């Protein structure tokens, strides 16, 4: 299965999500390969730090750019999950990955500048589904404020996504220092605190995405 974590907006936590999902699946005895398509090498650097720590389960990673469709199809045959981390821009690698992915997860913060990318992402998804009808795509709202009086921002962000006929996960992530702390050490939030709130967020996102009923995903405009 190919799982793409990507989108047009930078800074929404794509690499962080991809890394933590990869660890969660690895801890569940799935074979996982990470594909880093971001020139910033965020995931590649995280993998390098991780694999230098003998106490952590090793995760393989390759770097691919541009026309990666055939590479992904070939790699898919050797792993349970190929998790693709694309940078925050509309580029050839993003569209190539969407053309073969089973699932695409698009992180967005509940901010106006992030939500402005939804119409363009809907256009990209519609185009890619013509080539890849099995593509299941969903938004996830990330880095949410924890204050109760900010809850309306999260609900409004979800409603914007749904207004374009694209599913949005119930599960979200909140702004937590543990996400940054774990990434610096090549770890996941699950490995730092298996029963913590951040770990629960990652597990909920992964489980919901992989078990989601995408019966209305065909309603892309």
Give 43-64 pLDDT, tens digit per residue: 999 999 999 999 999 999 999 9
pTM listed for this prediction = 0.91
Q: What pLDDT is attached to residue 213?
A: 60
* % of residues, the chain, pLDDT over 70: 95
- The yes-or-no verdict on residue 109 having pLDDT over 50 is yes
- The yes-or-no verdict on residue 1 having pLDDT over 90 is yes
Q: What pLDDT is attached to residue 216?
A: 40
- Alpha carbon of residue 213 to chain centroid: 18
- The yes-or-no verdict on residue 218 having pLDDT over 70 is no
Q: What pLDDT is attached to residue 88?
A: 64
């Amino acid at each position: 299965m190919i799982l793409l974590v990507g989108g047009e907006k930078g800074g929404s936590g794509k690499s962080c999500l991809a890394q933590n999902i990869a660890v969660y699946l690895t801890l569940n005895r799935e074979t996982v390969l990470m594909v880093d398509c971001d020139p910033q090498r965020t995931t590649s650097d995280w993998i390098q730090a991780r694999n230098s720590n003998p106490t952590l389960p090793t995760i393989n990673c390759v770097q691919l750019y541009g026309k990666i469709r055939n590479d992904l199809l070939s790699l898919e045959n050797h792993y349970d999950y190929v998790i693709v981390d694309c940078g925050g821009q509309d580029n050839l690698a993003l569209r190539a990955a969407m053309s073969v992915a089973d699932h695409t997860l698009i992180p967005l913060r509940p901010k106006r500048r992030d939500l402005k990318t939804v119409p363009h992402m809907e256009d990209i998804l519609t185009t890619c589904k013509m080539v890849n009808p099995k593509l299941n795509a969903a938004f996830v709202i990330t880095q949410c404020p924890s204050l109760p009086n900010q809850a309306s921002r999260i609900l409004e962000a979800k409603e914007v996504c749904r207004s374009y006929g694209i599913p949005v996960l119930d599960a979200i992530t909140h702004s937590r220092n543990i996400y940054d702390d774990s990434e610096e050490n090549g770890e996941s939030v699950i490995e730092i605190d298996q029963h913590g709130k951040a770990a629960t967020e990652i597990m909920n996102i992964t489980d919901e995405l992989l078990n989601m009923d995408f019966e209305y995903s065909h309603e892309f405009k």
